[in-house]
């Protein structure tokens, strides 16, 4: 009897003991769901460092430049700002030497973009082929781009030296007389020398970017075109060019902006001379700010450069959108 009485006691278990699991409460379910999904502020927390960086180091200086462009401010007393409205812009745009500077800038930028993109495309097509030492050639082609701008400028000055410069001797061999003071002191040849140096430095970047785009050309389309009897030019125009167009457009915009901002190469080679033949917007901006001590005028020149950059960017976007609609 005692065993029979003890049996039921052993089988009966108090609540909260044993293997029986408690039901999950609604509040704990909400906590689990919230922790799994994350806070709605999480994306903004990740974006906060980038926004702070852009705001402190780019947006604030830009707004300060806009303000300075409407004031008469000197480098000797930068805290004294006299509001002059559009007087700086009228002075800059009405100056004949500035219009010549603007023309030189546009010529320099156009030549840099056309030359670097054209030669970069040729180099990319050559590097895309199969030949012995292709890996070594692909590595060596990046050397001019990896070299610092100051080093490139000093090498160019040495090669254009009027006494022992290699390129000076080449020009003399071709029947081109650079003059007694050399190429960089010749108003007719100085800009061409800077363009040669700039394009030589920009071509490797363009070539590497276009080479990576060439790797994405569908080989099936190339083989199909070869089967149909298409030649190399037809394959390039119908297949390869269609793949390269977006990349070439992006590279052209980058080259335009970088050429507009090019300073150290021009300054170290010619300082904007001789006779202002190599004076671009950034050289004029530097000269107005640190030689003439006129920060307001320099800020107005900088705003003109920003407007030109925005026009280039917006124009490229419109062209790309129109090309996408036609495709």
* CA nearest to 209, candidates 303, 288, 138: 138
Whether the per-residue pLDDT at 90 is higher than 90: the answer is yes
Q: What does the alpha-carbon distance between residue 295 and residue 76 come to, in Å, rounded to a whole number?
A: 10
Q: What does the alpha-carbon distance between residue 63 and residue 72 come to, in Å, rounded to a whole number?
A: 16
Token pair listed for 6: 């003890």
Which pLDDT score, from 0 to 100, does residue 31 have? 52
Which pLDDT score, from 0 to 100, does residue 38 have? 63
What contacts 257, CB < 8 A, 6 or more positions away?
309, 312, 313
**Percent of the chain scoring above 70 in pLDDT:** 88
Q: What does the alpha-carbon distance between residue 133 and residue 11 come to, in Å, rounded to a whole number?
A: 84
Whether the per-residue pLDDT at 123 is higher than 90: the answer is yes
Whether the per-residue pLDDT at 177 is higher than 90: the answer is no
Q: What does the alpha-carbon distance between residue 94 and residue 54 come to, in Å, rounded to a whole number?
A: 34
Average pLDDT, the chain: 85
Euclidean distance between the first and the last CA atom of the chain, given in angstroms as a whole number: 94
Which pLDDT score, from 0 to 100, does residue 7 have? 47
Which pLDDT score, from 0 to 100, does residue 144 have? 87
Which pLDDT score, from 0 to 100, does residue 25 have? 56
* CA nearest to 188, candidates 263, 132, 270: 270
Which pLDDT score, from 0 to 100, does residue 155 have? 92
Indicate the pTM of the whole model: 0.81
Whether the per-residue pLDDT at 22 is higher than 60: the answer is no
Which pLDDT score, from 0 to 100, does residue 1 have? 45
**pLDDT tens for residues 240-280?**
888 898 899 899 999 999 999 999 999 999 999 898 999 99
């Amino acid at each position: 009897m005692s065993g029979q009485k003890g049996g039921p006691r052993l089988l009966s278990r108090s609540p909260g003991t044993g293997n029986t699991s408690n039901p999950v409460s609604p509040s704990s379910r909400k906590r689990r769901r919230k922790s799994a999904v994350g806070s709605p502020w999480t994306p903004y927390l990740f974006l906060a460092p980038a926004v702070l960086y852009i705001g402190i180091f780019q947006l604030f200086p830009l707004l300060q430049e806009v303000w300075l462009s409407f004031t008469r401010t000197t480098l000797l007393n930068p805290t004294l700002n006299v509001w002059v409205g559009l007087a700086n812009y009228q002075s800059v745009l009405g100056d004949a030497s500035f219009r010549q500077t603007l023309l030189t800038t546009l010529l320099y930028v156009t030549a840099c973009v056309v030359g670097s993109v054209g030669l970069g495309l040729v180099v990319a097509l050559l590097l895309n082929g199969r030949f012995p030492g292709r890996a070594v050639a692909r590595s060596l082609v990046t050397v001019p781009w990896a070299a610092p701008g100051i080093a490139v400028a000093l090498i160019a000055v040495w090669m254009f030296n009027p006494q022992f410069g290699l390129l000076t001797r080449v020009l003399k061999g071709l029947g081109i007389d650079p003059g007694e003071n050399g190429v960089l002191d010749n108003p007719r040849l100085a800009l061409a020398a800077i363009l040669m140096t700039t394009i030589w430095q920009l071509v490797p970047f363009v070539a590497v970017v276009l080479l990576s785009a060439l790797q994405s050309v569908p080989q099936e389309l190339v083989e199909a075109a070869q089967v149909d009897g298409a030649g190399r030019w037809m394959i390039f125009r119908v297949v390869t060019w269609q793949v390269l167009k977006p990349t070439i457009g992006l590279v052209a915009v980058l080259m335009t902006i970088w050429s507009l901002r090019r300073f150290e190469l021009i300054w170290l080679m010619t300082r904007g001379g001789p006779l202002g033949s190599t004076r671009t917007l950034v050289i004029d901006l530097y000269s107005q700010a640190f030689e003439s001590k006129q920060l307001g005028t320099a800020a107005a020149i900088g705003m003109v450069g920003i407007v030109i950059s925005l026009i280039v960017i917006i124009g490229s976007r419109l062209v790309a959108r129109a090309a996408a609609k036609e495709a």
